[in-house]
Every structure is written in structure tokens, then in C-alpha cells.
Chains A and B, each alone.
Chain A
Amino acid sequence: QKEVEQDPGPLSVPEGAIVSLNCTYSNSAFQYFMWYRQYSRKGPELLMYTYSSGNKEDGRFTAQVDKSSKYISLFIRDSQPSDSATYLCAVLTTSGTYKYIFGTGTRLKVLA
């Protein structure tokens, strides 16, 4: 079992839809949770990070962490064609050695 699981997609939605992207993780020692956006042939761009259960909002983006279920989500409201990209979740554990683990990414297509 991978330490971080993410559905690869592609996920296609119409413009204006609410998008839900999800990851599950296996180790309760993971303490920090990040979402990155990666456009084709570009480096990942940090979108959001959080270290606690609950929601964190930034504009059209909301990151949600449920530590009891080991489940993290990214919601995109009023999705735009410019949101079409691959979204990577990442977790950081700080117990013992620091380790950053990435999901494989979900490809999102927002159709105009």
C-alpha cells in the first residue's frame, strides 16, 4: 500500500462546477498537508498547506483535513478553464526524520 494514494483521473468538469480532489494516507504520524498545482511541463506551485484537522480557505480554494479518517481534500469553487492542471497532494512527517511524500497527482480538465 502506498503511503499516499490519489486517484490519477482525468477528472473532467464543466466551467463553474465545484471540484473535489482527494487523497488518503496511511500513517497517522503525518502532520502537515499540502496541495500543489502543476501545469503541463512546469514545476509544481504551492496552493495551500495546513497542519490541523478542519478547513482552510483561500479564495476559491478550500483545503480540508480529516485526521481521524486520514483523508485530505481540495475543493475548487467556480472552476475555470485556467484551473486545468494536475493537482498533487503532499504530506510531511516530522516524527524521527523529516519526510515529504507526494501523491501521484490528479489531472483536472475544466471544460469551457
Chain B
Amino acid sequence: DGGITQSPKYLFRKEGQNVTLSCEQNLNHDAMYWYRQDPGQGLRLIYYSQIVNDFQKGDIAEGYSVSREKKESFPLTVTSAQKNPTAFYLCASSIDLRETQYFGPGTRLLVL
């Protein structure tokens, strides 16, 4: 059953803590993306990766970091430098940058 999985579904972060959101896909897609969704603001691109071992900053990369060591996996770390991390985080993938994107179920990050 092909698709994109994200874990955990809910994540709580304490002040000053780094947290990592998982994204895995078994669609054999080269490109992967991370978005942040806030009410009334739509989807904003954090980072994207065109291929393994390569990634590029999106529109709101400050306070976030990523890695792409495997084709299937694109984890996102929300660092303590991100002062307003409460949001719904969505991972997506596509065959390549020119193709339509498919989304995972999302992770809701809350700050304690």
C-alpha cells in the first residue's frame, strides 16, 4: 500500500527543545517537501529536496533543519530558534519538481 506516512500525529515541545518530525514515503518519488499550515495562511514551504543528499530552503526555513540521507525519508527538525512552532506540519512528495505533489496525514506540533 503506497503512500506517505508522518509520525507522530501529535507532538509536544518544551521551551528550548529541538524536536524531529518523521516523514517516510514508499512511492519511489525523488522530490520531497515540508510545509507549515497556519489558520488563514495556507501552506508555506519550509524546505524541499530534489534528490538524495540535496535540499533547498523554502520561504520560511529559519528555525528548521532537514536531512535527506535516504530517498524514502525526509525528517524535519524544529529547533529552539523557531519561536512560534505551533502549527500543522505537512510532508509531501512528487516524482520530481515538475509533477503534482501528494501529501502525508500531517503532524500537529504544540508548545507546552
Interface contact A42-B106, CB-CB below 8 Å: yes
Residue numbers in B under 8 Å from A43 (CB-CB):
4, 6, 90, 103-106
A17 within 8 A of B: no
**A67 to B2 Cα, complex, angstroms:** 34
Residue numbers in A under 8 Å from B101 (CB-CB):
46, 90, 100
Interface contact A34-B100, CB-CB below 8 Å: yes
List A77-103 residues whose CB lies under 8 Å from chain B.
88, 90, 92, 94, 98, 100, 102-103
**Which residue, A42, A92, A100, A102, has most C-beta atoms of chain B within 10 A?**
A100
Residue numbers in A under 8 Å from B45 (CB-CB):
100
Band of interface residues on A: 20 to 34
Chain A-chain B contacts (Cβ-Cβ < 8 Å), number: 43
Residue numbers in A under 8 Å from B104 (CB-CB):
43
Look across to chain B and name the residue whose beta carbon is closest to the beta carbon of A4.
B42
B102 within 8 A of A: yes
**Which residue, A8, A34, A43, A104, has most C-beta atoms of chain B within 10 A?**
A43
Please judge, given known A-B contacts A43-B90, A98-B97, A100-B101, whether A8 and B106 are in contact too, CB under 8 Å: no
List B63-112 residues whose CB lies under 8 Å from chain A.
88, 90, 97-98, 100-106, 108
**A105 to B42 Cα, complex, angstroms:** 7
Q: What's the minimum C-beta distance from B79 to chain A, rounded to whole angstroms?
A: 24
Residue numbers in A under 8 Å from B105 (CB-CB):
42-43
Interface contact B100-A45, CB-CB below 8 Å: no
B41 within 8 A of A: yes
Known: A100-B101, A105-B42. 15 other contacts (CB 8 A): A8-B40, A32-B100, A36-B103, A41-B88, A41-B106, A42-B106, A43-B6, A44-B43, A44-B90, A44-B103, A49-B100, A92-B98, A92-B100, A98-B98, A100-B33
Top 7 A-B pairs, shortest CB-CB distance: A43-B103, A104-B42, A98-B97, A102-B43, A43-B105, A44-B103, A43-B106
A→B interface (CB under 8 Å):
8, 32, 34, 36, 41-46, 49, 88, 90, 92, 94, 98, 100, 102-105
